[in-house]
Every structure is written in C-alpha cells, then in structure tokens.
Amino acid sequence: MDIHNLIIENLANPYELERMYRKDSKAFKKSFSHAWEQNPDSQILSVWYERLYFKETANTGRIFLLQKGFIIMGILAILSGISTRTIFHFVEQEAIAPINLAFGIIPFIAAYFIYNNTPKKSVIYSLAALFLISGFYLNMLPLNDNDTKILVYLHLPIFLWVLAGVAFTGNEYSKGNTRLAYIKFNLEFCILYASMAVSGMVLAALTMQLFRFVGLNIEDFYFSNVVLFGAAALAVVAAYLVSMNLKLAKNITPYIAKIFSPLVLVTLLVYLITVICVGKNPFLDRNFLIAFNGILLGVLAVTIFSITESDPDEKKSISDIINFALIVLALIIDSVALSAILFRLSSYGITPNRLAVLGVNILIWANLILIMLSYILFLQNKSGPSTIQDTVTKYLPVYGLWAAFVTFTFPLIFN
C-alpha cells in the first residue's frame, strides 16, 4: 500500500502519522501532496501542511529581518565606537569627566532595543529626552573629584542602565516577565561580552607583539584607536547576539547560577567567621564598612541572578535552600552595615557619602525582606517560584529612582 494511502487511512490516528513521519520523513513529505490533493478540506492534513511547508515560506522573511537587524546593529556599533573615541579625546584633554564614556555605549544599546521592540513614540521621546538631559546635566557640573561628584559618577550608570531597561522592555515596561527577561539579558550579555573581550585581548597582544618584531611600538595608538573603538562597538554586537537568542550564553547561565550560589554561601560564611575571630569592627573601621557593603552588593547580585535563572515550573530543590540562606545572610550583613552607618552619622555628622550609603542600604534591606517573605511562602508551599521572581522584578525601578535622586539632587543639596 502506498504511503499516501496510509496517510489517508490514519487521519484519525495522530500517533501513527507521527510514527510514519519519523520513520521516513522524506518519503512522508513526498507522498503527502497526493493525500493533500485528495482531501483538501481535512483539518488534520491542513495542520501537517503548515508543519511541513511553513519553514520554506517563513525563512525568507526571517532571513530578511536578520539581515536588516544585522545592518542596524553594525551601524550602531560603528557609531558607538566613533562616539566613544571622540568622548575619550575630550577626557584626555580633561575637558569632561571620564564617566561620559558611558554615553558612547549605553544609548546605542538602548537604540538597538528600541529598533528591536518598537515601543510607543511617547516612550522613545521620553528615553531620548532623559539621555540628553543626563548628558547635559553631567557636563554642567564643575569638573572636580569631591565626594558629591564621585557619587554622581557612581550612580549615573545605574540610572542609564534603568533607561536601557525601559528600552528593552518597550511598551511592556510595567510587566514582571519583561523585567525578568532584562535581568537575564544582563547576565547573558556579561558572559558573552567577557568571552569576546578575552578573544579581543589575545588578538591585541598578538598584534602589538608582531609590530614589536619590526621595531614599532604601537601600544598607545592601538589602545586609543582600536581597543577603545572595539570595546564600545563590541557591547552593541553582544547585545545583538544575546537578543538573537544565542544558545551559548542561554545554556551556560543557569549552571553558573547553580554553581556560584553555594560557593558564595560557603565563602561568605568562612569570611564572616574569620572577621569575628579577627575582631574587625565596621562601626569604627570605615574601610571595612565599605568592604562590608561591597560584599552585600555582591551577594544581592548573585542571589537575584540565581532566582531569575530558576525554572518557574520546577519544584523546590537544594538551590532554593541555598538562595534562602544567602538572603538571610545578606540581611544580617545589611542590618550590621545599617547599624554602623547610623552610628557614624550620629557620631560624625551627615556627609554625602554617609547619606548615599544609608539610602542604598535601606533600599537593599527592604528588598531582602520582601524576597525573604516571598521565599518563606514558597518553602511553605503557599506560593510558586514565580512569586519570588515577581518580587525581584517589581523592586528594580526603586534602584533606578534612587540613582536618579543621588545623581540630580545631591550636587544641589551638597553644593
């Protein structure tokens, strides 16, 4: 019996049709047209027709979109490289602050996101205005390195990162799943960018060594013109590759989260026990308090990435216990840091640094409390893991608002 007759006879048997297709897909596809001609009104064959022939019609459009996206990415990457090199020239002349280099990279990544997601015009105009206002405001400030300006330089990139996040999420900036996708994007972006940067450094070292063999030292020229240009352009390229669902980064990030979480927990426990034994006091030692806050930020980042990389449909595992332990440990660290900051404020008075550190520690403390409460509900089977992820994503704009507050008001308050 011909295979097309077998197809007709088994229209009501999806399992047999699938088995026939998997046994010899070429023969099945070749004979399908005969069965389709005899039964053009069959819903089952209509589904199979789309399954067998959709790729041929879809690929052309997809290839065009990929080519168009690649061209847009290439243009933005070149513009980013040129802008960064131009900004660096003025930085070398000490005409502007080095933090301006962020404007040679982040706005172009945001521009690619806008092209990719096509948000409403109001979102596009708002983002463009905020980028322009930020750049103008930054360069209106006196060019010096006092505490207030350093705080601006530290917080401005966070604010610009949030703006890029709005561009990434497009019209769905208020939805938790798109914010979650942006957090995942950042981890995948860092992994991919670091991988390509290492390759670039190897190429740079090889190039400079080859020129040394002929008696030419091109280090200064190569760094200022090639490395700087490439580093900026590579950021846009990495954003494009991650947006194209590159499997390398997506496959490795969940494993990184699962490996690093227990390592960070063990390291942190050993460190804290050592600190207690040595007798270090964050209340009196300013440098140790700064290190303490650095540890806190690192633990918070690892915990958030670990939570975002967890599968919402997955049941409780040892990773959840580790994450919960990290949150509790981070909460203890933050509570000690908050106490130390309040002690220093009451003892030595208010300064821009102390106020900024106090603010960010309060924000982190509140964030950790919310995550811990949602984790407790999850561990008690009163909610799912998606609730924890929602808690993480809903809080992200708060950090952006604080960064904006420090950036735009501290120079006015502490002038």
| Positive or negative torsion for Cα 389, 394, 395, 401 | positive
Cα separation, 254 vs 257, whole angstroms: 5
Side chain identity, residue 279? G
Residue 348, exposed/middle/buried by CB under 10 A (0-12, 13-18, 19+)? exposed
Q: Say what the pLDDT of residue 245 is.
A: 66
Residue numbers in the chain where pLDDT is lower than 70: 1-4, 54-66, 245-255, 257, 279-289, 292, 309-316, 415
Q: Residue 106, by phi and psi: left (phi above 0), alpha (psi -120 to 50) or beta? A: alpha
Q: Enter the tokens of residue 207.
A: 């190039």
Answer for the pair 256, 191: CB distance below 8 angstroms, yes or no: yes
pLDDT of residue 102: 93
Encoding tokens for residue 8?
A: 């007709």
- pLDDT tens digit string along 287-311? 666 776 777 777 777 777 777 766 6
Taking Cα atoms as reference points, which of 228, 194, 188 lies closest to residue 81?
A: 228
Contact between 353 and 410 (Cβ < 8 Å): no
**Predicted TM-score (pTM) of this structure:** 0.76
Q: Phi first, then psi: give them for residue 384, nearest 5 degrees.
A: -100, 175
Q: Is the dihedral angle over the CA atoms 155, 159, 165, 167 positive or is it negative?
A: negative
Backbone angles phi, psi at 360, to 5 degrees: -70, -35
Residue 56: its pLDDT value, please? 46
CB-side neighbour CA atoms (13 Å) of 133: 11
Q: Could you give the CA distance from residue 295 to residue 202 in angstroms, rounded to a whole number?
A: 31
Cα gap 206→71, rounded to integer Å: 29
Q: Give the Cα separation of 312 and 184 in Å (integer).
A: 14
DSSP string across 100-158: GGGGGTHHHHHHHHHHHH---HHHHHHHHHHHHHHHHHHHHS-S---HHHHHHHHHHHH
156-190 pLDDT, tens digit each: 999 999 999 999 988 887 777 788 888 888 888 88
> C-alpha 373: how far from its chain's center?
25
CB hemisphere CA count around 332 (13 angstroms): 9
* 369 SS3 class: helix
Residue the block writes with tokens 């089952």? 44
